[in-house]
């Protein structure tokens, strides 16, 4: 069984050179804000592991 998770990620570079990242887990609506990609990756992985939704398509199982 495949576990499927979708995320919407928005990233801005501020005038001072720092970044602002806003992410949303599409299935649950859970939102997350951070300022680096490493932190974002950790959050996405934890959400993915806790996701119980199956793949929306049998095509993904073939990949």
3-class SS letters over 11-46: EEECCCCCEEEEEEECCCCCEEEECCHHHHHHHHHH
Q: Which pLDDT does position 51 carry in this prediction? A: 76
Its pTM stands at 0.73
Half-sphere exposure of 52 (CA within 13 A, CB side): 0
pLDDT, tens digit (0-9, with 9 covering 90-100), for 6-33: 999 999 999 999 999 999 999 999 999 9
Higher local confidence (pLDDT), 32 or 55: 32
Helix or strand (DSSP H, E) at 10: strand 7-13
Q: What percent of the chain has pLDDT over 90?
A: 65
Q: Which pLDDT does position 32 carry in this prediction? A: 97
**Rounded mean pLDDT of the chain?**
85
Pairing of strands 7-13, 31-34: unpaired
């Amino acid at each position: 069984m495949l576990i499927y998770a979708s995320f919407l990620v928005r990233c801005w570079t501020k005038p001072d050179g720092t970044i602002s990242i806003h992410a949303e887990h599409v299935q649950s609506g859970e939102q997350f804000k951070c300022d680096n990609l490493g932190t974002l990756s950790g959050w996405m992985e934890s959400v993915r592991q806790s996701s119980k939704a199956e793949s929306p398509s049998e095509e993904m199982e073939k990949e």
